[in-house]
Amino acid sequence: MLAVPKPVGGADESDNDEKGIDHPAKGLGCCEDPLKQIGDTIPNCVHNCIDFEAKIIHFSNRRNFLTFGVGKETVLNYNKLIIRLFKESHPVAYIIIPVFIAVFMVLSWQGPEVYVVWNPMPLYNLLLAAVESMPEWLTGFLVTGLLISQVFHLNHIVRKHEVLYKNSFLPMLFFMIFLVIIPQFMIFHPVLFVNSILIFILDKLFRIYKNQSPLPLIFDTGFLIGVASLVYLPAISIFLLFAVSILILKTFSWRDWIIGLFGLVLPFFFTFVYYLWIDGLEEMRAIFFLDDLTRILDPGGIALRGYRITIGVVALVMMLTLNRIRQNFYKNVTRIRNFQQVIFIYLIVALLSLAFTGSVAVYRFAILTIPISIMISYYFLAGKKAWWNEVLFWLMMATVIVNYIGS
């Protein structure tokens, strides 16, 4: 007996009736249940089944579905929206992300500035010396690879610790957008490397929650903050995030503070020993502590005057996000509420670190991309109106395009 194919695409007959769609199976008594059609002959049943299968294909085409394969039903919906695609963790996202970042990397590297040369911190100067001798295209390739790895790593951390109430690829999508939203974010700059370290720090902080042996994680967190500070000094403010997070994620213990502080100081101690070994304490004092410190702490004019539209759109989405988080805060389990508080403190600390921002340091705002991406992902994940989510998404994409056209 021939197997009767069933309509695919997630809708049953009742759904189609409500939508006013004529189901192709109606009126085909033989193929609805061939065993009950005692009066039908076998040839007539076969003929009707073939006719039914043809109508199924026609019905599927009307619904923009393409059905193929035998045994397993494979469905490709051409009407899937971008937000829904990432919300459902569709594998095609693994192709979209690298292509998207690579395209905008090419666009951003058409400008005159591809490096941030001035930075007094020793680890960044070491990295800069390594890439300045490379061809420009190779440096761009390395930056692209680093950005792609950050996107995938952050999404892995969010899914592993279930920071959102439902796993999806939305953190990956919005982190990608905010990494490329301003062309200066994609040049070779210290925050580019600090963001990679901060994702590891975030992983350590989440692992502290209900951990029976948190002290190694606390030391690692402090040490990574110290390393990030040797690349970009304002990253030392992340220690405030650590100090508040351990109060949220576990009961207070003075040992946590001491071990975390020891981990923070250790990279600076190694740096001091190195300069002492090479008899370079004067150089260390000049470039690290005193002479250039006022330049690092310059609270001069913010260099985003040319991105007012971007600021307005991001501010609008963030206000909607904070309101959604406030409404649903106590609907979440305790673990998710704690993680949401950590992300919010992360955003506040990152904003405070911008007090160190100089008058031309647009790239330093890239430190906001991680917490903003995670928080906005929650808004779109909890959103019920697909059309509104798409409007906001394409509004953000429009700001990205405007920024690159204007640059």
pLDDT tens track for 345-397: 999 999 988 876 554 578 889 999 999 999 999 999 998 888 899 999 999 99
| pLDDT of the residue at 198 | 97
Instruction: Tell whether 220 and 261 lie within a shared domain.
Output: yes
Q: Do 59 and 116 belong to one domain?
A: no
The pLDDT of residue 126: 86
Q: Is 7 within the bounds of a domain?
A: no
185 and 316 in a single domain? The answer is yes
Q: What's the token pair of residue 140?
A: 């761009």
Instruction: Tell whether 3 is covered by a domain.
Output: no
**Looking at the structure, do residues 92 and 33 belong to the same domain, yes or no?**
no
Q: How far apart are the first and last CA of the chain?
A: 66
pLDDT of residue 38: 41
Domain boundary among the residues 77, 105, 121 is at 77
Domain boundary, last residue among 45, 77, 109 = 77
Check if the beta carbon of residue 358 is closer than 8 Å to that of residue 298.
yes
- What is the domain extent for residue 62? 13-77
Greater confidence (76 vs 154) lies with: 154
Spatial separation of the C-alpha atoms in residues 156 and 162, rounded to whole Å: 10
Confirm if 315 and 372 have CB atoms less than 8 A apart: no
In a domain, 2, yes or no: no
Instruction: Assess contact for 390 and 82: CB atoms under 8 A.
Output: yes
pLDDT score at 115: 65
pLDDT at 391: 92
What are the tens digits of pLDDT across the range 124-141? 888 888 888 888 888 889
Residue with tokens 């109430």: 165
Classify residue 218: in a domain, yes or no.
yes
Is 89 found in the same domain as 44?
no
User: What's the pLDDT at 112?
Assistant: 54
Whether the Cβ atoms of residue 168 and residue 88 lie closer than 8 Å to each other: yes
Average pLDDT, the chain: 78
Calculate mean pLDDT across residues 141-153: 95
28: CB partners within 8 A, 6+ apart: 48, 51, 52, 55
User: In 24-165, which ranges are continuous DSSP H helix?
Assistant: 29-32, 42-62, 82-87, 93-108, 122-132, 136-160
Q: pLDDT-based confidence at 303, cuts 50/70/90?
A: low
Segment 93-110 shows an average pLDDT of 88
CA dist 126 and 140 (Å) reads 18
pLDDT at 405: 85
Report helix, strand or coil for 336. helix
Residue 6, pLDDT above cutoff 50: no
Last residue of a domain, one of 42, 62, 77: 77
Residue 49 predicted with pLDDT over 70? no
Residues 170 and 280 in one domain: yes
Alpha-carbon separation of residue 314 from 64, 317, 382 (angstroms): 34, 5, 18
Tell me, yes or no, whether 130 lies in a domain: yes
Given a cut of 90, whether residue 249 has pLDDT beyond it is yes
Residues 176, 100 contacting (CB under 8 angstroms): yes
Q: Which two tokens stand for residue 7?
A: 């309509």
Whether residues 32 and 176 fall in one domain: no
Mean pLDDT of 291-295: 49
8 lies in a domain? Answer: no
Do 293 and 314 fall into the same domain?
yes
Position 297 pLDDT exceeds 50 = no
Locus of tokens 């690579």: 102
Tell me if 4 is assigned to some domain: no
In this structure, are 192 and 132 located in the same domain? Answer: yes
Q: Is the residue at 148 inside a domain?
A: yes
pLDDT exceeds cutoff 80 at 322 = yes
What Cα–Cα distance (Å) separates residue 238 from each residue in 20, 76, 294, 320? Answer: 57, 44, 20, 26
pLDDT tier, 285 (very low <50, low <70, confident <90, very high otherwise): confident
Q: CA–CA separation, 339 vs 249, rounded Å?
A: 8
Q: Kindly state the average pLDDT of the residues 35-49.
A: 44
Contact between residue 246 and residue 210 where contact means Cβ atoms under 8 Å apart? no
Q: Are 204 and 180 in contact (CB under 8 A)?
A: no
Closest CA to 157 of 88, 114, 206: 206
Task: Calculate mean pLDDT across residues 195-201.
Answer: 97
Its sign, for the CA torsion 108, 109, 110, 116, is positive
Find the angle CA(345)-CA(394)-CA(316) to the nearest 5 degrees. 40
Q: What is the model's pLDDT at position 259? A: 95
Confidence class for position 10, pLDDT limits 50, 70, 90: very low
- Judge if 261 and 361 occupy the same domain: yes
| pLDDT exceeds 50 at position 403 | yes
Looking at the fold, whether 248 and 375 belong to one and the same domain comes out as yes
Residue 121: per-residue pLDDT: 80
Residue 197, phi-psi category: left (phi > 0), alpha (psi -120 to 50), beta (remainder): alpha
pLDDT for the residue numbered 289: 55
239 near 262, Cβ under 8 Å? no
Q: Same structural domain for residues 104 and 225?
A: yes
Q: Are 29 and 51 in contact (CB under 8 A)?
A: no
When divided into structural domains, the chain yields a total of 2
